[in-house]
Structure 1
Amino acid sequence: LVIASATFADAGVYDVVVSNVLGAVVSAAATLEVRQIIPTVSAWPSASAIYRGESLEQAILSGGSASVAGSFAFLSPTDTPPVGTASHAVRFTPEDTTHYLAADGMVAVVVVSALEIEEVPEPVEASAGASFTLDASATGAEPRHFQWYRNGEPISGATNATLAFSDATLADTGLYQVLVTNALSLRLSAPTRVAVDSPKLIGWGGNDDGQLGDGSTDDRTAPVFIAPDAVTAVAGAAHSLFVTADGSLRTMGANASGQLGDGTTAPRSTPVAVLGGTNVVAVAAGAAHSLFVAEDGILRAMGANAGGQLGDGTTTPRSTPVAVPGGTNVVAVAAGAAHSLFVTADGALWAMGDNASGQLGDGTTTPRSTPVAVLGGSNVVAVAAGAAHSLFLTSNGAIWDMGGNDQGQLGDGSTTPRPTPVCIAQGIRSFAAGGTHSLLLDADGTLRATGANADGQLGDGTATPRPAPVTVVGGTNVAAFAAGAAHSLLLDFDGTLLATGANDQGQLGDGSTTPRLTPEPAEPVLIAGLASGPAASHVLAIGALVYDFVYVPLGDGTVVITGYVGEGGDIAIPEQLNGMAVAAIADEAFLGASGLVSVHIPATVTNIGA
């Protein structure tokens, strides 16, 4: 019996009957089993590359051949493999499943980053009135969307790969970043320095340790000139840092813990260079520690470290900068009293240091001497730190808070501390953290405040703490703002600087030491950037002084000149400053002024000191 091309119908028990004229016999039974066979795959297919975040089913299989007709497919099509090249199981399924089994094999799949910023803008130094562009490019899945930021705040309408400037002004000075997003991922660029019209560093307020860098330890109730060519600055409890147009990092003030990063613990009343502080693009100051990032994306830290806030795995203070393990591709930083936070280019948020109030957002109150991931800290575009609380903003405009909340500084309507982040608002453009209060800028330019208010730092006309955000009096059409230990400042788009809260060291910059429950005008100053800090009683600004003279109102419509901060030469004292007659020149008003050739004194002056 010959069976050709056996089928399952041929399966069964067979016997044979043999007969002749004498009779017949039956053979023993024989069982025929027809089995499915595994086809021969002579060539497995190749797979197209996919982006990180895409599943294997989006990798197109092409080519491949087998001994029978059929198709190839991944065994786990919904898997989303990491970036890199790896082999994944593929199954060949024959069309004739009656006679043939499936065959399994492995195919290499290349997974590439879903999004990368290829080109970031070069730093710019430009004259007033200049035209220039900031250009960025990215690779990854289409469509790609761009959003430019200045000093951490999105620029309205700046949604192209190129950000163009025409007739640039001092107000365009700052740090610029571009956020690139697609359906799979996001990337935030490192900041780019832009300096227009030779911006100056100016400051006012507390100066006990020389943190204003003007060569003295005298508090300043009105703005004074500190240094030329500055693009950004930050304030610690009693120290300050600023970055110049060429990326040099300079610092001044208290240094007992080495927070100035100059290799010593000696205080400095004039700016000194930070060791290794070149090509710097981001900086932050805690109570007594400092953080900075250079163009290489590496996070470096110095100063106090009792809580592990330097993130180097120890609690040893450092007077020279140390690289933070894991602190690579860093694009934004923030520092609280004794904790630190940083954002990497992929939008991940990390934290280290003191965590007694849950300010690290890792779900515990355990201090961390190395960086830990913040729970839910993804798609982050900006971060801020109060004394013992933290805030971060995600790319969709949601603001998240964690940590201490005894004064309602988290703004969630309670005074309960939060060791894991809570979302308190949507549609937020930018934000700032003071000692135990927070400021939030809505998309419509309205400034709101929450938290401690004993000194009037919320600017709502009361001294009542607020566990949920309230509108700051006059806080509409806000262009920039900052929060200090117990004071707040806001800049209108018309250029008026307003300040509210504690003023014992002149931190409101209005020429007095009178506290304010609502924002009141400070002394006139041209501002491109504004900074204070959660432990600071001083203020730093990037911009220019309206006047070259430091003065104090006498309360009768006149002022006394107490200092000179100009660049010298032949100068003329004006008859009026800020609408008040110049009536007197104080003792030693020009002491230390360099480059003076002559001084013309107006007839309004009736009293001249020594």
Structure 2
Amino acid sequence: MPKAHLKGTQSVASLTVSKRRIVGALFAVLLALLTTITTDRASALFSDTGAVQTTFASTAAVELRFVGVAAGEGYSLGWTADGNLYAWGSNAQGQLGLGDRTARLQPTLIPFPPGTQIVEASAGIDMTIALTSTGVVYTWGNRDVTAGTDRPEIVPSLSALGVTGVSAGGYFFLAWTSSGQLYSWGNNGSGRLGRAGTGNDNTPARVTAQSLNSRVVVGADAGRAMGAAWVSGTTGTTRVSFWGDLFGSTTGQSGLGLPEGQSVQGLNVGSRYAFVWTSNGELYGGNTNSLSRVAGTTSSFIVGAEVSVPSAGALSYFAWDQNGALLAWGLNSSGQLGLGDVADRASPTSVSLPPGASVSSLNVGSNHSLFAGSNGAFSSAGSNAQGALGDNTTVPRNTFSVPVIILRWP
């Protein structure tokens, strides 16, 4: 029994050793095979340098450069030379056009159909209008005066009319065509649509104030509760027409006080005030239709001017000359004049701009203002409680001299 038992034990041990040897041999073969496969794969991956990239490179962000800017009530717009439109700031009514009602602290690209190029945009109180290179008009924001969405929607009745300019004011829009037709729609409170009717009329129709429906309109602007337009082929007091709050309601009034022999080059209206500048670089302004030369600007050849659109209170004013130098005066309680402080100014004061920049585009809302320079520099000043300055903060700024750098992927 013991010998038999011993023999059996030795046999089991021998068998176990043999199995271990076989398993070890198989493992060695498998390891060699795997090594060969790995080596061959590595060789295949990296030996053909013409087919496989062996190094990585990073793409640097580029500075966002605006060719035009627009300031609303607590929100902002900026568009680029390649036709992209960005929005930032307050978004309670979907005025940013981003499909939601979430505020943004820095410029965010608004989505449009592929191939769309925005050439002009305007920020109203809480609604927005934009014009494409093909004359298509989009609106969005406040649902009382738009198509009722938080994204850009086409205004279909204007698509075949050849629209060349647009403006958004206090709950109403203006659009004018290459043939000189001026259209308005939205809220007609205070007669701001310049035509018959009360309440909301969201169908674009011709402005009739001062017989503008039978005249050739060159350009127009929508203020808080008033509108203005200038026409071609006329002289004297009939060159500019106003309507709305303080300006004759829907009937309107002709602009008085402009000099003979000078054509109108542009106008701007805000809250209860209007600017008009002429071909001789003279700036006129007033809170009635009787305009007068603006003191403190007579030594400059003025080519643009802007006035703020607050719901009440004092106004902020800007004007710039043919060399791109900027003047500012009026209310500055939020630093919106960009002068480096919050002190009001009684007369036009020179504004320091970013190095090498001159005015390309400037727009002022209720209590913040935006600057785009001829060299691509962007700056902003004033209230920033809702991120309207676009610097990714809610901290106010009071100077234009320091640019706001915005980076994006190329």
TM-score scaled by length of structure 1 = 0.48
Write the distance in 1 (CA, Å) between the matches of 2:404 and 2:122. 20
CA contact (8 A) 1:223 1:523 kept: no
Instruction: Using the TM superposition, give the Cα deviation of residue 249 of structure 1 relative to its aligned residue in structure 2, in angstroms.
Output: 0.3
Structure 1 position 308 matched with structure 2 position 196: no
- The partner residue of 1:336 within 223, 233, 240 is 223
CA contact (8 A) 2:88 2:107 kept: yes
Write the distance in 2 (CA, Å) between the matches of 1:200 and 1:512. 23
List alignment gaps of at least 5 residues for structure 1: 1-169, 175-194, 361-366, 404-417, 526-545, 549-610
- The partner residue of 2:307 within 421, 424, 433 is 433
CA contact (8 A) 2:67 2:361 kept: no
Deviations 1:365-405 (A, max 9, x none): xx4212321113462110111122110111111111111xx
**Amino acid in the other structure paired with 1:401:** G
The structure whose RCO (Cα within 8 Å, separation 6+) is larger is 2
Deviations 1:449-490 (A, max 9, x none): 111111000111221221211122326623322212111122
Write the distance in 2 (CA, Å) between the matches of 1:393 and 1:284. 18
Other-structure match for 2:105: 221
SS at match of 1:250: strand
SS at match of 1:331: strand
Write the distance in 2 (CA, Å) between the matches of 1:236 and 1:437. 17
**Amino acid in the other structure paired with 2:181:** I
Write the distance in 2 (CA, Å) between the matches of 1:288 and 1:196. 26
Instruction: Using the TM superposition, give the Cα deviation of residue 218 of structure 1 relative to its aligned residue in structure 2, in angstroms.
Output: 1.2
Other-structure match for 2:244: 353
Other-structure match for 1:375: 256
Distance 1:506 1:171, change over 3 A: closer
- The partner residue of 2:349 within 438, 445, 470 is 470
Write the distance in 2 (CA, Å) between the matches of 1:350 and 1:219. 37
Write the distance in 2 (CA, Å) between the matches of 1:215 and 1:521. 29
SS at match of 1:270: coil
Write the distance in 2 (CA, Å) between the matches of 1:297 and 1:493. 29
Structure 1 position 243 matched with structure 2 position 126: no
Structure 1 position 524 matched with structure 2 position 406: yes
Other-structure match for 1:167: none
Write the distance in 2 (CA, Å) between the matches of 1:499 and 1:453. 13
Instruction: Using the TM superposition, give the Cα deviation of residue 524 of structure 1 relative to its aligned residue in structure 2, in angstroms.
Output: 2.1
Other-structure match for 1:459: 338
Structure 1 position 393 matched with structure 2 position 265: no
CA contact (8 A) 1:511 1:523 kept: no
Structure 1 position 201 matched with structure 2 position 80: no
Number of residue pairs aligned between Structure 1 and Structure 2: 308
CA contact (8 A) 2:127 2:139 kept: yes
Q: Which has the higher helix share?
A: 2
Q: Which has the higher strand share?
A: 1
Write the distance in 1 (CA, Å) between the matches of 2:385 and 2:368. 10
Structure 1 position 291 matched with structure 2 position 174: yes
Other-structure match for 2:76: none
State the percentage of identical aligned residues: 29
CA contact (8 A) 1:386 1:437 kept: no
Distance 1:346 1:316, change over 3 A: farther
CA contact (8 A) 1:216 1:269 kept: yes
Write the distance in 1 (CA, Å) between the matches of 2:65 and 2:136. 21
Instruction: Using the TM superposition, give the Cα deviation of residue 214 of structure 1 relative to its aligned residue in structure 2, in angstroms.
Output: 0.9
Other-structure match for 2:323: 444
Distance 1:375 1:313, change over 3 A: farther
Instruction: Using the TM superposition, give the Cα deviation of residue 173 of structure 1 relative to its aligned residue in structure 2, in angstroms.
Output: 7.6
SS at match of 2:125: coil
Deviations 1:165-193 (A, max 9, x none): xxxxx99988xxxxxxxxxxxxxxxxxxx
**Amino acid in the other structure paired with 2:290:** T
Distance 1:214 1:317, change over 3 A: same
Distance 1:523 1:506, change over 3 A: farther
Write the distance in 1 (CA, Å) between the matches of 2:231 and 2:362. 24
Distance 1:523 1:252, change over 3 A: farther
